[in-house]
A and B are shown apart, each in its own frame.
Chain A
Amino acid sequence: MSPRAPSLTRRMLSALTAPAFALLIALTVTTALLAAVGASPGRAYLTMLDFGLRPDSLVSAVNRSTIYFFAGLAVAVAFRMKLFNIGVEGQYRVAALFAAVVGASVNLPGPLHLAVVGLVAVLAGALWAGIAAVLKVWRGVSEVLSTLLLNYVATAVIAYLLADFFAAGSASGSTPELPPSARLPELDGLVSLFGLSLPPGAHLGGAALGAVVLGVAVHLMLTRTRYGYDLKASGLNPAAAHVHGIEPRRMILLTMLVSGGLAGLAGLPDLLGNTYSYGVDFPSGAGFTGIAVAMLGRNTPVGIALSALLFGFLERSALILDIQGLPKEIVTIMQGVIVISVVGAHEVVRRMEVRRAARLMREESVPVVTPEPVRPAT
């Protein structure tokens, strides 16, 4: 009486059902909204697609998605053991600030300079997340609350450091600009390999390559290492994991540091490929989008990459809507609806599978004695 494993196609289908369902709901909601304000939904979608699929739009979407990919990975790693890192927002901004300051103050040859800047970002992000980890391990403070509160503390600390130290003399309120050796190379050659020619001004940032490498590394870490196994075990059944010698306090500490380090990278695509300095107007908000991206991507690197690309594509293609007099925030609504419906759909699918498994168990076992009285259907 071996347990019947679902076939590969069935597994694939069930993995794709929820996102497809979520997209459908999101499209329905936005279609209804667009129709309600008297716009033609079909035309809006077609213009969005038309604009979004232009080569420069695609490149811009990919650049944008690398930020979400790093933020999403940070959330996902922590969520593997049911830790909520809501502080990615603060972590990546603190990290970007310190990376900008250190990057501008040292002078090193190209690749080494980049490596130092990256390392500083990872360390700063990890340290900021480490505060929440220490509070949880030492005093039992819920990481949901502490990371959330630390986001606001980060905003204040960054404003203070910028005003009084790092940008004290600058008129623009930014840190000094990074030298060329600390900037990410552009990968336009890679684009032409695909037969796309970029219009002037559009460049594929080097962060895309970094995202691919890091995605593979995180995938291997999660699936092929002892740490990845411990992480999964701690998330699925903390009590059993503890009994098997996985020290929960060590795991919490380590995981928040890894998560914060990954979060630290989320500021780099903008810092090293776009703004080259950290100022009050540094792009923010990617931390919260990262949570949505991680949820949509089911906390796996491949899923997160796909959902980050989707979010990047949606945001880029929405820009055309403003020109047409339609609020581009329809895309923010779409993102919110997608996240809610994808987690909802997964919950429904999970329950169906639990019920199916229970039915299979009943059918395969010989019903001689029922060990429990039959429950009324709920």
Chain B
Amino acid sequence: MTMKTPRGRLLAVLILLLAMSAVRTFTGADALTGSGAMGAALRLSVPIGLAALSGLWSERAGVVNLGIEGMMIIGTVCGAWAGHFYGVWAGVLAGALGGVIAGLLHAVVTVTFGVDQVVCGIAVNILAVGVARFLSVIAFSGLPGAGATQSPPVTGAIGTVSMPFLAGGWGTPDLLGRLEQSRWFLLSDVSGILRGFLHEVSWFTVLAVALIPVSFVVLWKTAFGLRLRSVGEHPAAADSLGVPVQRMRYYGVLVSGGLAGLGGAYLVTVSSTIYREGQTGGRGFIGLAAMIFGNWRPAGTAGGALLFGYADALQLREPSAVHVLLLLAAVLLWAAAIIFLRRRPRLLLTLALLGAAAFVLFQSTDSVPTQLIYATPYLVTLLVLVTVAQRLRMPACAGIPYRRGGA
């Protein structure tokens, strides 16, 4: 596919930007590329992205992790508890630790005991709901402003940072902000998008974004990463070369738990300042969807998370702009169809038809029902699975317990 070469990727980004600014100019829906919506998209995509990275680490090591949701829940309750008593960064650390403990349970049951990984993941989710409620009753019910399902606010807040000169950090001029206001075609759109990513970004977000290249480097550029991935692709071969299969799988699942816990901690320290029951709202599963969308690769995974965060941000900030997304989808699908004109006629037809359907929907309706917007991330993921399922490549042995000698 074109996305595999650097030139192809550049082309894809360019087409996306062009389409976005064209649609923005044509419809006047300024929120589409505004820095406000982009900033919100980034904030909303962080927990999804952390959950997706969590899934990536676990599945690359050959362990399917459906318990990410549960590990995030543990992260929220631990994060809120430590955040209230010992300050907000202690909450971040405690959230990650809580996730690691939940990950340890998943690792012991699936790696050591060889239990079916899907079953264990679901059991972890059930267990986590109970544990979180139990812990919150014990830890929070006596405190002022809290109850059985809600924690008191965390102490302090995580600071934000703006890029100097570009987005007005440390008293410097806000260059991108000014460009965004001028409403030029493409230039203002690019400025708006960039400013959204650079203006008043939480340090936690910086940390989370940094974890994407870190994961890439560790997993793809180090000996440790090679061993960890080999255990997910062909454990018997890895074993024959002296790679400690079970230990590598433990590492993968523990890191996975920690990342999921961090995602939970983000929810209680940045997204809000308290723990509430049901706060994770299925983000662990959306994260898995983002990971599949990204074909089990860090950059794609981050792109998937950002897409879901973007849809969510538009829906929250400006529901009317979501209707415009249909037009954007139509334009992008047609652009993709033109790119595949020569090589894959059947795909071309599918894409063109989908684009036409999106366009007809855009023309014949005034708004998208808010209840259905909620389904967007899941429908997009399903669409990705349907159109490129054969091209997606999950780690070959993810989901299969490994025993030496096959017993």
Contact = CB atoms under 8 A, between A and B. Distances in A.
Nearest to A346: B115
Contacts of A295: 119, 123
Contact of A329 (B133, B371, B377, B407): B133
Contacts of B133: 327, 329, 332
A156 B137 contact: no
A157 B382 contact: no
A336 B121 CA distance: 10
B407 A351 contact: yes
Nearest to B136: A327
Contact of B407 (A141, A157, A336, A355): A355
B120 interface: yes
Contacts of A335: 126, 130
Interface stretch (B169-177, B191-199, B229-237, B383-391): B383-391
A224 to B, nearest CB: 28
A149 B389 contact: no
A149 B382 contact: yes
Contacts of A329: 129-131, 133-134, 137
Contacts of B244: none
Nearest to A333: B130
Contacts of A343: 109, 115-116, 119-120, 123
Nearest to B126: A336
A227 interface: no
A331 B133 CA distance: 11
B308 to A, nearest CB: 11
Given A139-B390, A141-B385, A329-B130, A152 B378 contact: yes
B143 interface: no
Nearest to B114: A347
Contact of B371 (A86, A148, A163, A354): A163
Given A139-B386, A139-B390, A339 B134 contact: no
Contact of B389 (A37, A84, A139): A139
Most buried by B among A155, A331, A332: A332
Given A135-B382, A333-B131, A378-B405, A288 B122 contact: yes
A375 interface: yes
Contacts of A327: 133-134, 137-138, 148
A148 B285 contact: yes
A146 interface: yes
A330 interface: yes
Contacts of B134: 33, 327, 329-330, 333
A153 to B, nearest CB: 5
Interface in A124-178: 135, 139-142, 144-146, 148-150, 152-153, 155-157, 159-160, 163-164
Nearest to A159: B371
A331 B130 contact: yes
Contacts of B378: 149-150, 152-153, 156
A155 B124 CA distance: 22
B369 interface: yes
Contacts of B405: 375, 378
A164 B109 CA distance: 45
B404 interface: yes
A320 interface: no
A204 interface: no
B130 A336 contact: yes
Interface in B279-327: 282, 285, 288-289, 292
Nearest to A378: B404
A123 interface: no
A253 interface: no
B282 A152 contact: yes
Contact of B369 (A160, A288, A330, A334): A160
A340 B123 CA distance: 6
A351 to B, nearest CB: 6
A344 interface: yes
A93 B385 CA distance: 24
B66 to A, nearest CB: 8
B125 interface: yes
A330 B137 CA distance: 11
B123 to A, nearest CB: 4
Given A152-B378, A329-B129, A339 B123 contact: yes
B147 to A, nearest CB: 12
B1 interface: no
Contacts of B289: 145, 149
A291 interface: yes
Interface string A53-91: 000000000000000000000000000000010100000
B385 A145 contact: yes
B374 interface: yes
B379 interface: yes
B223 interface: no
Nearest to A345: B113
B131 to A, nearest CB: 6
Interface string A83-122: 0101000000000000000000000000000000000000
A164 B367 CA distance: 13
Contacts of A140: 389-390
B385 A332 contact: no
A292 interface: yes
B122 A292 contact: yes
Contacts of A191: none
A141 B377 CA distance: 17
Contacts of B373: 156
Contact of A153 (B105, B113, B379): B379
B251 to A, nearest CB: 21
A33 B131 CA distance: 10
Contacts of A141: 382, 385-386, 389
B375 interface: yes
Contacts of B188: none
B372 interface: yes
B381 interface: yes
A354 B119 contact: no
Interface in A342-378: 343-344, 347-348, 351, 354-355, 358, 375, 378
Given A327-B138, A340-B115, 9 more contacts: A141-B382, A142-B385, A146-B382, A149-B382, A156-B371, A295-B119, A327-B137, A347-B114, A358-B407
12 contacts: A145-B292, A148-B288, A327-B134, A333-B131, A336-B124, A336-B126, A339-B119, A340-B120, A343-B120, A354-B407, A355-B407, A375-B405
Interface of A: 33, 37, 84, 86, 135, 139-142, 144-146, 148-150, 152-153, 155-157, 159-160, 163-164, 288-289, 291-292, 295, 327, 329-337, 339-340, 343-344, 347-348, 351, 354-355, 358, 375, 378
